[in-house]
Amino acid sequence: STSPPTHDNYLVIGGCGFLGRHIVDALLGRGETNVAVFDIVQRHFDENVTFYTGDISKLEDVAAAIAKSGAMIVIHTASPPHGRGAAVYEAVNVTGTQNVIEACRTAAVPKLVYTSSAGVVYSGKEDLINADERLPYPAVPMDAYNDTKARAEALVLAANSDDLLTCALRPSGIFGPGDRQAISGFHSVIKNGQTKFQIGSNENLFDWTYVGNVAHAHLLAADRLDQTYPVAGLHEPLPWVNLSLP
Ligand code: NAD
């Protein structure tokens, strides 16, 4: 169900990306009137959305956008696409997220929601079955993307305080209109004739979530990111989970 608009100032970082755009659409769709976007490239042009162009790995860029937008709620979805070098992931995911946190603190932004990834707890070697938030990060991360997503997530959760409430969401695969990676990846597998190979027993499962539902989850997290709900920061063990259930 759709919550009513809060009429707070929202800034969606990475708001010209696949998920970021769906978050912008969901905010506008529920009647929010103060929606701004920060992205390294402007791919959308709406009259009712303010676009700031810049690079989150540069503190001055993201600090200017957060200050100018008067953001009360920052939703940070930016990340480089798959297949980039480790230095790019380090700069954008780790330094960039640190910059977002610092800029939020400087501008006294009360809420920060971060798009993490299910991959932060996946080593690439062992299946994850019924995993939840108590699972530790793997000792040896699968790759630079997942390593830097995990370190960015840890920074966001550790930054949680009464002044800046933070949380991180971990989607698995995301599908839907506007996808920039999954379908093109499937397409190139078909185009390159790679469908005749089978890896494993063909019984492995992988989670996918519709992009509209992932966007909705970000709005719910922002709405409930409040001292009265146990959403913010790190919780061990999770207070709302009855661990004795079978
Ligand atoms: P996307 O590439 O479509 O969107 C990311 C956006 O970030 C782009 O618009 C890009 O221009 C922007 N960006 C990249 N570098 C930037 C920089 N230095 N400064 C400012 N903006 C920058 O990707 P997506 O699929 O929408 O992913 C959104 C988030 O969800 C990412 O954090 C990703 O790690 C996470 N995620 C995605 C999936 C998936 O299946 N797509 C799964 C799990 C987690």
Q: pLDDT tens, position by position, for the chain (246 residues)?
A: 678 999 999 999 999 999 999 999 999 999 999 999 999 999 999 999 999 999 999 999 999 999 999 999 999 999 998 889 999 999 999 999 999 999 999 999 999 999 999 999 999 888 888 888 889 999 999 999 999 999 999 999 999 999 999 999 999 999 999 998 899 988 999 999 988 888 788 888 889 999 999 999 999 999 999 866 667 776 554 444 444 444
Q: Is the CB of 148 under 6 A from ligand 1?
A: no
Residue 240 lies in a domain: no
Which residue's CA lies nearest to atom 18 of ligand 1?
55
Q: Can you give the CATH number for the domain in which 115 is found?
A: 3.40.50.720
3-state class of 110 per DSSP? coil
What are phi and psi for residue 187, nearest 5 degrees? -60, -40
Give the tokens for residue 110. Answer: 């009360």
Residue 162 lies in a domain: yes
Q: Is residue 138 reached through a cis peptide bond, with omega within 30 degrees of 0 on the bond before it? A: no
Q: Verify whether residue 196 is a known catalytic residue.
A: no
List Cα–Cα distances, 212 to 19, 162, 181, 231, 235, in angstroms: 8, 30, 16, 21, 27
Residue 4 lies in a domain: no
Give the residues across from 168 on adjacent strands.
Answer: 114
Residue 25 lies in a domain: yes
Q: Is the CB of 90 under 6 A from ligand 1?
A: no
Residue 22 lies in a domain: yes
Q: Is the CB of 96 under 6 A from ligand 1?
A: yes
Residue 246 lies in a domain: no
Residue 237 lies in a domain: no
Question: In this predicted complex, what is the ipTM?
Answer: 0.99
Q: For residue 19, give its domain range.
A: 10-180+209-224
**Cα(68)–Cα(242) distance, integer angstroms:** 43
Residue that the structure tokens 């019984």 belong to = 203
| CB 19 within 8 Å of CB 77 | yes
**Cα(170)–Cα(121) distance, integer angstroms:** 10
Residue 230 lies in a domain: no
**Cα(59)–Cα(31) distance, integer angstroms:** 31
Q: Report the domain count for the chain.
A: 1
